[in-house]
Amino acid sequence: MIEFPKEFIWGTATSSYQIEGAHDIDGKGPSIWDAFCSIPGKVFNGDDGNIACDHYHRMEEDVALMRQMGLKAYRFSISWPRIMPTGRNQINQKGIHFYNRLIDELLKNNIEPWITLYHWDLPLALQFEEDGWLGESIADAFGKYAEVCFTHFGDRVKNWITINEAWVVAMLGYGQGVFAPGRRSNSEPYLAGHNLLRAHAEAVHVYREKFQPTQKGRIGITNNCDWREPLTESAADKLAAQRALEFFLAWFADPVYKGVYPDVMVERLGDRLPTFTPEEAEKLKGSSDFFGLNHYTTMLASDAQGQVMEGNVYGNGGLSEDQEVNLSVDPAWSLTEMQWAIVPWGCRKLLQWISERYDKPEIIITENGCAFDDKIVGDTVTDQPRIDFFRGYLTEIHKAIEKGVNVGGYFMWSFMDNFEWASGYCKRFGLHYVDYRTLQRTPKDSAKWMSSVVRDNGF
Ligand code: GAL
């Protein structure tokens, strides 16, 4: 049996739009995801998060499930338009009340709350009025919203994540247009990414100036990254893999740790990549108390030599051309229902890459998991493939720790099946834990397995 450090944090994660439902009650304002889902053809099957897992109404029951699983930590996000219906000024007390009840319920059950301030449900008013993440004013609005959260919840919440996956917001929301707000461009992602970073820095600044000295919590950002393995041993493919990682993760992590964008992006993007003012760079540098990482899969990278493949999974034309990298998977790798390859060693290599590039930060894996077409037998979901997945990834994470990488925690995605963005509640993705029509919560074997891992590690 492998043992993790005593203080290792074991948890699960969710996000507001994916589980809460209650999209238009108790004073909540609309978000860009409410609007996006209402556009025909944007979300598989015309699904939306109007009800989702109805967590807003069934919160106590859900926390009881977490307790049964033996969880020590729970990462959830706050819906900005639930507590600030137009994104600014006016505060919705009923929204504040909901999160206060959730936080209290978690603490009562000895579960540490980890709050994400932004997991993609931007108040729609800010999209209309300020151009969403393309508008310069968004950083200030985000700082003020963050301040409302620190003021109301910071007495009990000690772990804050500013932004979830800026890469996804920028690339899928403004590059490929497959996520809200659905824009397609080869320059807007870099502007959106820039403002996401400015907003992150602003929230951290507010926390450090006004709250951290007394509340004594920590704050950071969560970025996502897959591993990129060179397709061949050639120097060109090795460089391509490195370039792909820099365009993916260093795009957001270099500014946070070093105050600058990676050289390779500066060189290749020219004036499509905005620049930070000296004050912004100063605010950004060192703006994360931990390295939040969401990791799901690995792909092979090769040098495109001017021939970027059409339909490259992770780029629209323009953006993959910027990197000149072609991506593929090894046909021997097995895939999850999301068509993501299961490559546990890729996780270890990525952890080592981060540790070297950013000088051994504490890495918290804030998401890792998989979707399968689970089978329900009796009243449980028998999901051996998911148990194997977790075993594989946790084993490699443990190896990384043995090699000196500082990994402080692991949150499995997700606490329960939920609204999977543009894929909706697609059966193909194995969403059985919650049947959102009957709202039945069905325990999974992997959840039981996870509880035993937590227990065996001395908790
Ligand atoms: C992440 C995202 C989650 C969830 C997950 C995979 O990119 O943060 O909200 O959708 O992917 O299913």
Domain-embedded: residue 247: yes
User: What was the pLDDT predicted at 426?
Assistant: 78
Residue nearest to atom 9 of ligand 1 (CA): 15
For residue 30, the domain's CATH number is 3.20.20.80
φ, ψ dihedrals at 421, nearest 5°: 50, -130
Q: Which residues of the chain have pLDDT under 50?
A: 313-316, 459
Most informative mutation of 16, 162, 297, 367 for ligand 1 (most atoms within 8 A of CB): 367
Catalytic residues: 165, 367
**Cβ–Cβ < 8 Å for 396, 344:** yes
Domain that holds residue 109: 9-456
User: What was the pLDDT predicted at 1?
Assistant: 72
Domain-embedded: residue 86: yes
Query: What's the length of the chain?
Result: 459
CB neighbour class for 213 (10 Å; exposed up to 12, middle 13-18, buried from 19)? exposed
User: What was the pLDDT predicted at 75?
Assistant: 98
User: What was the pLDDT predicted at 204?
Assistant: 99
Domain-embedded: residue 53: yes
User: What was the pLDDT predicted at 307?
Assistant: 74
Would you say the CB of residue 224 lies under 6 angstroms from ligand 1?
Answer: yes
The number of domains in the chain is: 1
Would you say the CB of residue 165 lies under 6 angstroms from ligand 1?
Answer: yes
The CA 234 to ligand 1 mean position distance, Å, reads 33
Domain-embedded: residue 2: no
Domain-embedded: residue 102: yes
Domain-embedded: residue 81: yes
How does 377-409 read in b/e, with b if 16+ C-beta sit within 10 Å? eeeebebebbbbbbeebbebbbbbbeeebbbbb
Tens-place pLDDT, residues 342-384: 999 999 999 999 999 999 999 999 999 999 888 888 888 889 9
Residue nearest to atom 5 of ligand 1 (CA): 413
Question: Which atom from ligand 1 is nearest to the alpha carbon of 18?
Answer: 9
**Cβ–Cβ < 8 Å for 410, 10:** yes
What is the pTM assigned to this prediction?
0.97
User: What was the pLDDT predicted at 314?
Assistant: 46
The one-letter amino acid at 126: L
Does residue 274 sit in helix, strand or coil?
A: coil
Domain-embedded: residue 4: no
Domain-embedded: residue 342: yes
